[in-house]
Amino acid sequence: MLPGLTPEESRDLIMSVGTHHGKRRISPVEAGLLIQKALKAGCSVETCGQFLGFKDPSMVSWFLKLLRVDSGLHHLIGWGKAAGTVSFIAATELGTLNEDEQKEAFGLVIANDLSKLEVFQAVQLRKRSRRRISECIEEVTRMRPTITRKHVFLGAVIDDVVKQHLSKLKQPERDDLLSNVMSELYGKLPRTSARLGTDRFTIVTDEEGANALKKSAKPGFEPAINQLLLARTPKL
């Protein structure tokens, strides 16, 4: 067990970092926050790296780099390349942008399904040319043989009681909750992924899914989702 962490937190950390299981107990950012907590409690980088099974203790710094990303985007960071997420390594690179650009960049990376290499190319182009990150991402995507874009829907969690409840859940638990809400509201939407943070959510889908969200008889996807999230929140 690492200094400053509870047995459950240490277990979540060791069962999520350094494993290739498809579904992990916590997200990369949540792992980064636990590592930061242990370091602040006096744990050395070397001890932390050994606990996590890293051959090189410098790997610990990659998790700390994630914490430079705006907190409102944390729910979009995944362990690897998956629909509706930005991969761990790509997110560390996007974290070097200023906060005003990060939100735009994350949305464009997901909408254009950029690879890790393409993200690095876009960010380096931004730093060299000083053009907007949107222009740099567009230039990178133009070099592809074919261009594929996805629809990204952004929504805010409105109710404070819901936010308080979500803050107590781990990222996989929040994502499962949103997926269940989406299924209840819209049925099965192929090629659609949904990520839920503590105060906002993101839905990434194809043309079919986008049309379903836009044409639904519900009062718009954002209020409909908020209503059901509130209904599924335990009463205090």
Question: pLDDT tens, 59-70?
Answer: 899 999 999 999
Q: Report residue 76 as tokens.
A: 């979009």
What number is the average pLDDT over the span 184-199? 90
Question: Considering only 71-80, 88-97, 213-222, which range has the smallest mean pLDDT?
Answer: 213-222
Average pLDDT over residues 174-199: 91
pLDDT bracket for residue 23 (50, 70, 90): confident
Confidence of residue 186 (pLDDT cuts 50, 70, 90): confident
Share above pLDDT 90 across residues of the chain, in percent, rounded to a whole number: 67
pLDDT band at 220 (very low <50, low <70, confident <90, very high): confident
User: Is residue 132 predicted with pLDDT exceeding 80?
Assistant: yes
Q: Please state, rounded to an integer, the average pLDDT across all residues of the chain.
A: 90
Cβ atoms of 174 and 197 closer than 8 Å: yes
Q: Check residue 3 and report its DSSP letter.
A: T
CB count within 10 Å of CB 185 equals 17
pLDDT tens for residues 77-124?
998 877 789 999 999 999 999 988 999 999 999 999 899 999 999 999
Length of the chain: 236
User: φ, ψ for residue 185 (rounded to 5)?
Assistant: -80, -40
Kindly report the backbone phi and psi dihedral angles of residue 202, in degrees, each rounded to the nearest multiple of 5, phi listed first: -135, 135
Average pLDDT over residues 30-57: 92
Is the per-residue pLDDT at 213 higher than 90? no
Longest dimension (CA), the chain: 56
Mean pLDDT value of segment 40-68: 91
* 136/104 Cα distance (integer angstroms): 12
**Tell me, what's the pLDDT at 130?**
86
pTM score above 0.85: no
Sequence-separated (6 or more) residues with CB below 8 Å from residue 137:
105, 108, 109, 112, 114, 122
In sequence order, which residues have a C-beta less than 8 Å from that of residue 18 and are 6 or more positions away?
52, 53, 54
For range 17-45, the mean pLDDT: 87
Q: Which pLDDT score is estimated for 188? A: 87
pLDDT at residue 201, as a whole number: 95
Summarize the confidence of residues 190-195 as an average pLDDT: 89
**Residue 167 CB-density burial (10 A; 0-12 exposed, 13-18 middle, 19+ buried):** exposed
